[in-house]
Amino acid sequence: MTKTDPSGLKKGDTIQIKVASVALGGDGVSKDRGLPIFVAYSAPQDTIEVELFDVRKHFARAKILRVLEPSPQRTKPPCALFGVCGGCQLQHLEYSEQLRTKQSFLEQACRHIGGLEETVVLPTIPAENDLFYRNKVQFPVRNPKNSNRLLAGYFKADSHELVNIKHCPVQPGIIDQIMELVKTLFEESGFQAYDERTHTGLVRHINVRYSFATKKALLTFVINSTKTQFFSRHSRTIKHKLEMIAKDLMASIEDVAGVSVNFNSAEGNKILGDEFLSIGGEEYIEEILSSKRANAPQRLSSGVRYRLSPGSFFQINSEQAAKLFDAVRDAVGDTRPKLLVDAYAGVGAMALWLADLAEKVIAVEEHPAAVIDGRYNAELNNIDNVVFEQKSTEKALAELIKQKVTPDIVLVDPPRKGLSEEVVQALLKLNPEKIIYVSCNPSTLARDLKLFATDQPADLEKDVQKADCLGYKAKQVQPVDLFPHTHHVESVTILERRGHGLINLEEAR
């Protein structure tokens, strides 16, 4: 029996619709037929002929057959693989429309997920350079059936089918050059790509990190092996071949500063394992970020230097990262906090950018390599009021609560999954004057903002009768375009404490 929805639509139908807007995730959406119809690579005001491939009770999905009347916001994509490669979703939109769309993503999320009608979302801060901006790529690799040829690139949208990338317009040309030589050298070595179905094959990912300041690159080969196996007698040939590949790369391309191996023998789609080993050249590169604001302090105008190891987290767009960090400085404001806590600090990128605004900054990061880089970065920039603590955010906040230490400001920059409930509850207990939330995911940001708005922290209700918190109001959200041509958007949200003093939770109930 063919599946239909109450509007009478069914899978396989060909219909004509007009696109109203772009939804979270980048698909255009039309409500012409009584329910939302999502269409990838469509633009607001497009009139299109589509074929339905997924029809459900409350929504449907379709693919474009023909663009009948193109939107004024449509433009020619800069990449020939757009629509095939899943790396970018918005190249068909004029850049100004991309910026408006990303602002709307945050407005949609705050309203529909967070239930926050009054939250002010500011216009998106644009990128000066919307192409060739990526400072890092992580390419999975595959072998075609019955072939030793090595393919590396991005997956097609909603699939594990690899698109082999030779030229990518959102990454600098030197990365294209490096990747082509790497693939050739691996093919000549006879190494097989990892097969996730059989858990066989050696090479899982090829990662490149690039510094725009020094024009140097670090390569990391993610291999299906443990470190112990790598040094076993059986694997000596593999080790020697990889070292020779590293040597050939550095001899052929002077911009390659060093090559490392990452060991990941676990099943699943996790990209990196926990252990790295340098097999040639430098173990890190240095990036320099500078503020272009006329009123920026001299140290920011001159540039903050960052040492980056292969596994350390760093914003993927160096130029825009400086604008993001300036937006965080704006969020801190004119007051000089005695204590600022930077949670999920990575290599201390934001902590060092903010160091002159606070008497003391505690940078919390659980990954050892990032903490080592962060401490080195503080010395590199002659900053002595930033203290790095290697621990999880959950543990660090719990210790502050136990010690009865209340930061004036807490800065959080969590991964895409957002904050754990444990972190939200800990922040409500700590009750700082201000929380600054840097997010790369509008949906999880909105979810967490809704939790911060509560005046009844869940775990406190069970344990005590009073809580020193009235919740937090999201004062404003500032989008920053770190990922041009994709649906991803970074943002800086200012959360201000609603009130002071104790509330009685029993009375509140």
Radius of gyration of the chain (CA): 25
Those residues whose C-beta lies under 8 Å from the C-beta of residue 267, and which sit 6 or more positions away, are: 196, 199
Which residues, at least 6 apart from 348, have a Cβ–Cβ distance to it below 8 Å?
A: 306, 342, 363, 365, 373, 374, 375, 377, 378, 386, 388
Q: What CA–CA distance (Å, rounded) separates 27 from 29?
A: 6
Tell me which of 79, 88, 110, 440 is the catalytic residue. 440
Which CA distances in Å does 243 have to 138, 280, 331?
Answer: 20, 7, 47
Burial 24-54 (b: 16+ CB within 10 A, else e): bebbbbbeebebebbbbbbbbbbbbebebee
CA distances from 294 to 61, 123, 297, 300, 318 (A): 48, 21, 9, 11, 19
The two three-digit tokens of residue 394, written as one number: 């959950």
Strand partners, 277: 261
Say how many C-beta atoms besides its own lie within 10 A of residue 268's C-beta: 7
Is 469 among the catalytic positions? no
How many Å apart are CA 220 and CA 279, to the nearest integer? Answer: 10
3-class SS of residue 113: helix
Rounded to whole angstroms, the Cα distance separating 279 from 18 reads 55
| Amino acid code (one letter) for 457 | P
From residue 160, give the alpha-carbon distance in Å to each of 13, 37, 166: 27, 24, 18
Exposure class string for 170-185: b at 16+ Cβ within 10 A, else e? bbbebbbbbbebbbeb
Place of tokens 């991964």: 415
Map tokens 């767009």 to a residue. Answer: 317
Of 328, 437, 343, 342, nearest in space to 383 by CA: 342
Contacts of 94-99 spanning 24+ positions with Cβ under 8 A:
95/126, 95/130, 95/484, 97/43, 97/44, 97/73, 98/481, 98/484, 98/485, 99/123, 99/124, 99/126, 99/481
Task: Say how far apart CA 93 and CA 90 lie, in whole Å.
Answer: 6
Catalytic residue IDs: 440
